[in-house]
């Protein structure tokens, strides 16, 4: 089993927690594949978890988490 498949199996959700959002939108502007789901979560201001089903989604999610200055607004988690 390759490392990427193992990573996708271990980390399967990107969760958004609006209570920690600073509102600058920097990380959201960098979203591509996950942008529609994240934009909807930001608009609704509700805790939301997005299932990551592709390696490309996992890669984007990891990048976005690194950009989050609070390290609490968007979080990778196990399903």
**DSSP single-letter state for residue 18:** G
pLDDT at 1: 44
Lowest mean pLDDT among 5-9, 17-21, 24-28: 5-9
How do residues 22-79 score in pLDDT, each as one tens digit? 998 899 999 999 999 999 999 999 999 999 999 999 999 999 999 999 999 999 988 7
Question: Cα 20 to the chain's mean position, in Å?
Answer: 14
pLDDT at 66: 96
Residue 62 near residue 4 (C-beta atoms within 8 A): no
- Between CA 57 and CA 64, with CA 61 as vertex, the angle to 5 degrees is 140
Query: Which pTM value belongs to this model?
Result: 0.82
Query: Which of the pair, 47 or 1, is modelled with greater confidence?
Result: 47
Residue 28 near residue 73 (C-beta atoms within 8 A): no
Q: What is the residue whose two structure tokens read 């939108």? A: 25
What lies within 8 Å, CB to CB, of 62 at 6+ separation is 11, 76
């Amino acid at each position: 089993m390759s490392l990427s498949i193992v990573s996708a199996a271990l980390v399967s959700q990107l969760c958004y927690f609006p209570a920690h959002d600073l509102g600058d939108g920097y990380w959201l502007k960098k979203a591509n594949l996950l942008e529609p789901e994240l934009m909807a979560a930001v608009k609704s201001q509700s805790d939301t978890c997005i299932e990551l089903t592709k390696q490309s989604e996992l890669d984007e999610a990891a990048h976005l988490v690194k950009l989050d200055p609070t390290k609490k607004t968007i979080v990778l988690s196990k399903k």
